[in-house]
Chain A
Amino acid sequence: DTEVTQTPKHLVMGMTNKKSLKCEQHMGHRAMYWYKQKAKKPPELMFVYSYEKLSINESVPSRFSPECPNSSLLNLHLHALQPEDSALYLCASSQTGNYGYTFGSGTRLTVV
């Protein structure tokens, strides 16, 4: 298995909803990442997990809450989002010390 799987592929949520994005990999990678990509812009790093511990938080608002329950799973919990949070959310993983990431196909999130 050489893939990063993200679910759901599309999500529409209201500003008062609580939802979660899920990411799964079975490549034995111990580093996992969340990125946000707006239309016609490059992906921007949000969080880095290394050995299931949050190691990097790029000053992301607290309405985004990451969680790494085990070495294969990464969640992003969403609460009270704003319409400007609508974007493609990408999950990635890598071997620690390997800088080429394996990305999932992303979750396209629309906040209404």
Chain B
Amino acid sequence: AQTVTQSQPEMSVQEAETVTLSCTYDTSESDYYLFWYKQPPSRQMILVIRQEAYKQQNATENRFSVNFQKAAKSFSLKISDSQLGDAAMYFCAYMRETSGSRLTFGEGTQLTVNP
């Protein structure tokens, strides 16, 4: 079974600074997808970024980017120019290519942004 590990239960960053959230996963598959979701205090789950494993280029969405290291099975999220609105729980998630779109989530990292 696939597992997703987020080793940092809590992180903090100063406003305008950069922070990196870590995620590792375990799989024997070669084709899969990786995601980062954000859950603010409102409880809503919001898709931040998506990576296809067959693409070597790291995905980027505005201030959010990933460092995808397929051989190391690592998928970290970098948030640049952190804003107060970035404060949330962040979940890393894995989806196998032939899994019926089933997501496996990590336990989450609570990010605090200090003014």
Chains A and B come from one and the same complex: no
